[in-house]
A and B are shown apart, each in its own frame.
Chain A
């Protein structure tokens, strides 16, 4: 299975030494370092490459600094940290950020909107998600999007949704896919080609991998050596 994305905690290759040292040291409490972490966040936001543009540990360290020093809180920074966590392939990233916030912070308008978006996403209600995300733009063009300044947000999100689809379905109707990824027929055909799906009329066939394979098995017990120590030592006494 995809163990490459298994953890948000291994050191990212793109993480600079300076940041790494800070995260593994008491220096993480020094408020003068907030600006380093904020700059680092800005670089993560500008980078559209999903393989190395999210460093959860660094962002959590920044949230912790805000937790200890409420006068430093910058809502726009928190908004961007949460938006980054929203499109992280590891589903627990978002909650780990929330644990370091408070009711007061969650009442902020754009933060609470992100919470609503997250709810649709984690309930796999993708249609409602896109509606909430882009539905009101025309009436209210003044309002900045809550995911402003996050490079590659839509694509990162589609990668997530595509991952959910391929993990659950073997065949699926194209119209369903269109609704879920919020793309028209033509774009879905392009998406199918990119992912190596076979399109047959309105039905898309997805390659069968371990996630969407249906195969029962018998789990046999495995005995660890430690379980036998008592018996063996008793045998020795005789």
Chain B
């Protein structure tokens, strides 16, 4: 079913099969046979029950969508929707789409987008039933069919944030479904039969199919390649890809694909997928949506960590965490502040693992933060032993992405132990991490000497001399890592030594030398010069606002100052 021909016809076919096969679900909805009058009355009552403020909001949203006012939509979506959700629907769902239909003259495309928001709200605030999960998938199929299978490009335009959220939510719901179905013993008999009959719904292939199709339709890979190597970007983009909607959806789908590959444990493919996206470029497209920016770095850093490329993981996390802490004041207003903050906290935890296993100096601010919040954990990891492994496991479980099994479990075997990809990935990761623990432990001893006898060191470490010899070799081995040296290929790199401690054995004698870091004068001056500049700026602004407010009525001035 996942053949090379990605033509539209086949895509339609797949989705139709899926949409038609929910015999069971449809019955639930229709219920008793009501006559037309009663239906009409029910609909009217439903519409009446929608608060006026919500009706106005939906009207504006509908208007702005039809007239493609992207900036207004941005405001509707990022500010109003979140605020109204808190005010009216903190613990319930938004109005039924069928009632909303009456307000917007049955505009099919608007209703698809409304349903996307409606289901997303249920996922974030309530517990989606299996039926809701199916319905939401069906709605995504409608949306992507509209975008991918119309004769020409659709005229729809949406803000970048909204487009990112659609792709992001699509993958989140997929992951959530995979976890849901894997708990076979918690599903009722009805649910099991529904799951069995609709094996296509939320299947890994269908999700990948959507992402790859969006990437292909938008020619985003070609666009990025041409942008990098020079040439006519518009020509590379083609009829669809030159529209912002397609371009951004294609781009976000690449990032989404990276996430799906990581969720499946395929870290090399995840990094390979990003081959046309240049990391570290401050004008790259991913910087347009903060959540996307953070997501890219989170998954790249995580993939490096799992590959045992700790130096690369550290560099990746430090880069994005520096960005997040610098822009925190601007983010606070965004409705995604909480989730960005949580991701940042997870990345600090992963960073603790990376820098503890492969000690390296990091940016001063990040270093200070780690010392304040994670000193205890870092200390425990350095001491080694089982406790270190426990600390690493805890940090990892807090910070890792949700893993999934790409195939459905055996629904007939209720007794079977639930497959836990989370635990499996952790165990494989710990195989390497355990070995890596040799590094901080040995390093802390070797640092103290320039020459040392094997026998003596082995008594310090309470270890057999022969085993110590082995561990010294493991240390050497573990300090050689492949490290990225720039360029579009994140997988490539050079084999470098990641330790500041060099040693060699002459039979039973260890000779040790340490590389020292010189004083960082320039760094100190730069940071303090910047601090002074910020201070001056804020004082100047304060003064300006005071001057601007003189002469205005007292009450207004007080309000401004407050």
Whether A223 lies near B526 (C-beta < 8 A) is: yes
Whether A122 lies near B474 (C-beta < 8 A) is: yes
Q: Is the C-beta of A47 less than 8 angstroms from some C-beta in chain B?
A: no
In the complex, which residues 91-110 of chain A have their Cβ closer than 8 Å to any Cβ of chain B? Answer: 91-92, 95-96, 98-100, 102-103
Q: Is the C-beta of A90 less than 8 angstroms from some C-beta in chain B?
A: yes
**Nearest-Cβ distance from residue A78 to partner chain B, whole angstroms:** 15
Q: Is the C-beta of B307 less than 8 angstroms from some C-beta in chain A?
A: yes
Instruction: Report Cα–Cα, A70/B410, bound state, in Å.
Output: 12
Whether B474 lies near A218 (C-beta < 8 A) is: no
Can you list 9 A-B contacts (CB < 8 A)?
A7-B491, A7-B492, A26-B212, A30-B2, A60-B266, A102-B421, A170-B504, A215-B513, A221-B523
Instruction: Report Cα–Cα, A102/B417, bound state, in Å.
Output: 13
Instruction: Report Cα–Cα, A90/B470, bound state, in Å.
Output: 19
Chain B, residues 286-325, CB within 8 Å of chain A (1/0): the string is: 0000000000000000000011110000000000000000
Whether B495 lies near A218 (C-beta < 8 A) is: no
Instruction: Report Cα–Cα, A1/B432, bound state, in Å.
Output: 23
Q: Could you count the A-B residue pairs with CB atoms below 8 Å apart for me: how many are there? A: 185
In the complex, which residues 207-228 of chain A have their Cβ closer than 8 Å to any Cβ of chain B? Answer: 208, 210-221, 223, 227-228
Q: Is the C-beta of A29 less than 8 angstroms from some C-beta in chain B?
A: yes
The B interface is mostly helix, strand or loop, or mixed, namely mixed
Q: Which residues of B contact A5 (CB under 8 A)?
A: 495
**Which of B92-100, B149-157, B191-199, B514-522 lines the interface with chain A?**
B514-522
Query: A residues touching B (Cβ–Cβ < 8 Å)?
Result: 1-3, 5-7, 9-10, 24-27, 29-30, 56-57, 60, 64, 67-70, 90-92, 95-96, 98-100, 102-103, 119, 122-125, 164-165, 167-173, 176, 203, 208, 210-221, 223, 227-228, 230-231, 234
Which A residue sits closest to B216, measured CB to CB?
A: A26
Whether A10 lies near B530 (C-beta < 8 A) is: no
Whether B432 lies near A95 (C-beta < 8 A) is: yes
In the complex, which residues 476-533 of chain B have their Cβ closer than 8 Å to any Cβ of chain A? Answer: 476-477, 480, 482, 489, 491-497, 500, 502-507, 511-518, 520-523, 526, 529-530, 533
Instruction: Report Cα–Cα, A191/B421, bound state, in Å.
Output: 44
The A interface is mostly helix, strand or loop, or mixed, namely mixed
Interface centre among A1, A56, A124 (most CB of B within 10 A): A124
Whether B307 lies near A96 (C-beta < 8 A) is: yes
Which A residue sits closest to B524, measured CB to CB?
A: A221
Q: Which residues of A contact B512 (CB under 8 A)?
A: 214
Whether B504 lies near A214 (C-beta < 8 A) is: yes
Q: Which residues of A contact B265 (CB under 8 A)?
A: 67, 99-100
Whether B477 lies near A172 (C-beta < 8 A) is: no
Whether B513 lies near A60 (C-beta < 8 A) is: no
Q: Which residues of B contact A219 (CB under 8 A)?
A: 500, 515-518
Which B residue sits closest to A227, measured CB to CB?
A: B526
**Nearest-Cβ distance from residue A154 to partner chain B, whole angstroms:** 19
Which B residue sits closest to A119, measured CB to CB?
A: B431
Q: Which residues of B contact A218 (CB under 8 A)?
A: 515-518
